[in-house]
Amino acid sequence: MASLISTKTNHFRYASRFLFSHLLRHSTPTSSLLSPSFAHHLSSHHPHQVGNQGYGIGSLMLYQRLLSSTSNQEKKVLDNSSKDDSGQGKKSGGEQEQKSDAGKSVRGSPVSWLSLVFLVLTGAGLVFYYDKQKKRHIEEIQSASVSVKQGPSAGKAAIGGPFELTNHHGKRVTEKDFMGKWTLLYFGFTHCPDICPEELVKLAAAVDKIKEKGGIETVPVFISVDPERDTVEQVAEYVKEFHPKLIGLTGSSDEIKNVARAYRVYYMKTTEEDSDYLVDHSIVIYLMAPDMGFVKFFGKNNDVDSLADGVIKEIKQYKK
């Protein structure tokens, strides 16, 4: 920029010297140089004088152009320098803003830590609450299961009741004849091809094992659900094949119906073909207490050992 100003100054000096030398040579009034309107006045009233001074006026116009171009160039240089200065200022300002922002983020970090601590405390509280609720729920389930196992308020199952039937010796008996003894009852029929024989064999073996392992006497009883074919003689021949203590009971259709209803036993005759039919019935062994009250039933899934162990366990708990 300094070199440009020096160059323009030299041009100004050369132009000034040339102009003054020309004015002195032609004696041109200074007022005509400074006022274009006055030059027009001279040209209209003194054409000869203006014609002689045309060269001087042209020189003056050249000088004015030179001055204007110099001032414009200087103005551009100043504008560019101011732009550079403003750009640098903006840049430095941006850097300062970034630094200040960075400073804010650094200075603002305790707020973020505070938020993090709040979040951790909230999560810990939720976990603690969930764990507490879970433990309480587990305790409720455990207490409920214990109460169900103990079941003192559940009451006694409505199984059993008075009955009157005929034993395999032809004697009329009732439930009172079995009081004072632990009784195992099984409902079936003598013409059963497989299920009844299997269950009676299991029952007979369990009776002996209960006596051997627990020292407990039990009375096995077979009650027919086929009164039409299971006569006293038929039942007598049937029960002696399984155990000498096994007692067989039969009766009329109404008597069998009543005892089956009392012990919640299902039975139904299937399709008949020339008096050869089967009876569909429940496959259950009932354990009855010495007062002929119901204690527990055992299904077909129990083998000899589980049946014997189950009976011994129930009798011991009942005595306690």
**Domain co-membership, 192 together with 284:** yes
186: closest CA among 206, 169, 171, 170? Answer: 206
What per-residue confidence (pLDDT) applies to 205? 97
109-150 vs 54-107: helix crossing angle, rounded to 10? 30
Identity (one letter) of the amino acid at 242? F
Q: What one-character-per-residue DSSP string does 94-124 give? A: HHHHHHHHHHHHHHTHHHHHHHHHHHHHHHH
Number of structural domains found in the chain: 2
Per-residue model confidence as pLDDT tens for the chain (320 residues): 445 455 555 555 555 555 545 554 544 444 444 444 434 443 444 444 443 444 444 444 544 554 454 445 545 544 554 444 444 444 444 444 444 444 444 455 555 777 777 777 887 777 777 677 666 656 655 554 444 344 443 456 689 999 999 999 999 999 999 999 999 999 999 999 999 999 999 999 999 999 999 999 999 999 999 999 999 999 999 999 999 999 999 999 999 999 999 999 999 988 766 668 999 999 999 999 999 999 999 999 999 999 999 999 999 999 87
Among 44, 72, 90, give the residue marking a domain's end. 90
Q: Are residues 180 and 307 in the same domain?
A: yes
Residue 305 DSSP SS3: helix
192 is in an annotated binding site: yes
Please list the residues that pair with 62 across neighbouring strands: none
Phi first, then psi: what are they for 231, rounded to 5°? -80, 175
Same domain, 40 and 173: no
The token duo for 199 is 């269950």
pLDDT given at position 15: 55
**Residue 157 falls within a domain, yes or no?**
no
In a domain, 315, yes or no: yes
Q: Is residue 114 part of a domain?
A: no
What is the CATH number for 272?
3.40.30.10
- The verdict on 300 and 178 lying in the same domain is yes
Residue 171 shares a structural domain with residue 45? no
- Dihedral sign, CA of 271, 277, 283, 286? positive
**C-beta of residue 288 within 8 angstroms of C-beta of residue 185:** yes
182 and 281 in one domain?
A: yes
Pairing type for strands 218-224 and 285-288 reads: unpaired
Q: Which of residues 55, 90, 125 is at a domain's end? A: 90
Among 163, 167, 277, smallest CA distance to 229 is for: 277
The b-or-e profile of 1-12 (16+ CB within 10 A means b, else e) is eeeeeeebeeee
Domain range for residue 237? Answer: 164-319
pLDDT of residue 254: 97
Q: Are residues 304 and 174 part of one domain?
A: yes
Q: Report the pLDDT value the prediction gives residue 118, as an integer from 0 to 100.
A: 75
Domain co-membership, 263 together with 181: yes
Q: Is 196 annotated as a binding residue?
A: yes
How far apart, in whole angstroms, are the C-alpha atoms of residue 305 and residue 298?
12
Q: CA torsion angle for 173, 176, 181, 187 (degrees, to 10)?
A: 50
Rounded-to-10 torsion of CA 11, 15, 21, 23: -170
What's the first-to-final CA gap in the chain, in angstroms?
120
In a domain, 38, yes or no: yes
Q: Are residues 172 and 309 in the same domain?
A: yes
What is the distance of C-alpha 291 from the center of its chain?
54
Same domain, 64 and 190: no
- Residue 10 in any domain: the answer is yes
Q: What is the pTM of this model?
A: 0.53
Question: Do 173 and 265 share a structural domain?
Answer: yes
Task: Assess if residue 132 is contained within a domain.
Answer: no
Is residue 189 within 8 Å of 281, Cβ to Cβ? yes
Same domain, 48 and 181: no
Residue 134 lies in a domain: no
Q: Would the annotation count 137 as a binding residue?
A: no
Query: Which ranges of the chain does DSSP label H, i.e. alpha helix?
Result: 2-26, 30-34, 36-45, 47-52, 54-107, 109-150, 195-214, 232-239, 253-262, 304-319
Longest alpha-carbon distance in the chain = 179
Question: Is residue 148 situated within a structural domain?
Answer: no
> Which tokens in the block code for residue 117?
């601590």
Domain boundary among 90, 110, 141: 90
